[in-house]
A and B are shown apart, each in its own frame.
Chain A
Amino acid sequence: MIQVTNLFKKYGKSTQALKDVNFHIEPGEFVSIVGQSGSGKSTLIKIIIAEEKADKGQVVVGGWDITRIKEREIPTLRRQLGVIFQDYKLLSKKTVFENVAFAMQACGFKQKDITKTVHQMLALVGLKDKENRYPHQLSGGEQQRVAIARSLVHKPKLLVADEPTGNLDSINTREIIDLLKKINNLGTTIVLVTHNKDVVNGLKSRVITLDNGVLISDQSQGRYLL
């Protein structure tokens, strides 16, 4: 599902964010990426969703070599991925329903299909009764669930999440992680960047550890090292 080979990324002249990173993720896996702040986790995610470009090396996502992806191909890539962020990234002037629908409208789906799928996804994340609220009328956990619903509408085979629970308390964190596990069980590959030791240890799945841009450990059934 993801093949990263000899990946290098530098910001400016001096910040080496990723140094010779190599790993391979199979379809259906649930992989956690951990590491201290500034170790290059977000940079890795940004390269996977083509928000940043690699300096050297190769990145293949879902069989597609995106290392030299053209700007006009980027939307096509993103429509095959689900992405969630620490700050939810919801459109503040759109309702819950409209936020989730937007990802499908952008792809040109018919309104009938959109309505059906959006209701289905909002039910999955447990927000069926709040579809007419605006993001600021929701709690952090609820906002993140909206973002998850949005990331799922085009049925992605890969879901990447950059510290999705970073702004949440432990109960909400638990709910979000459970939701991600459920999605993984339905067959979606998940790459989860996190800081949270309990989350990583509770998952008992593969853990990739970055330190200063270098991949220092890659263990199946791993634990939080640092």
Chain B
Amino acid sequence: MDQQTTKQWAFFRRKHTRLFLVLLSALMLYMGTASLMNFQTRSLLGIGSGFAWMATNFVPNQASLSLLPAILYQLWRTFLIGISAATCAGVVAFLLALMGARNIGCRVTLVRVVIRGFASVLRNVPIVAWAMILLFSFKQNDLTGFLALFVMNLGFLIRAFIETIEDFDGDKVLALKATGATYGQIVVQAVLPEVSVPIVEWLLYMIENNIRDATLVGLLTGTGIGFLFDLYYKGLQYGAAGLVVLVIAILVIGIELSASKIGRVIA
């Protein structure tokens, strides 16, 4: 073997060894945690009967279909709250992200760090905790649900927007600066057109997420579709509860599909 092939062989052997080690450690991680939790891999076999019970009981029946108008009404309200929370958070997040982005943001490092930290705190407190905290202050109503989603969205979007804006090429800012453009002009005429597509995509993703989360939030705050689910579930109306889940899934999938369409239109 000449030197070239030896080198090649060694390179690929290193790659294969690394892949093998990664797979091995994943397996060991599973076995380790499973044994710590006393989790028997065999018990996965019992999952089948659980699903069977679920399938027979949660399938919507005649009685639950009569509840459809009420369910759709609550779904509609939830949808609106999800949109308004995401868009309100989007506006605030965009302004904060402009200040927090390294390339065109505030030159004072402390300000940027504070904005990132603020976003991180909002994001890392679980939404359930936010709902509970806000519940004490604002009682059971739509506003509480809205605020819980808003706070979560704000934390998430600030970070997403900062990353989007930081992808923007600083030389383009330079090009407009060279024409004598002001900061506001550069933001609206250069940054905004370049980041509008990813920003709209993030917003749509947030709305989709909000409808899923609204179930959980509503459960706690006693509003919207989550409240209905809770009501039916505790009232042993499993068929109706299943119907709630079904319409939520349909709505979320619908948004997901239209999101990619909308993305293409504005691109």
Q: Do A and B come from one complex?
A: no
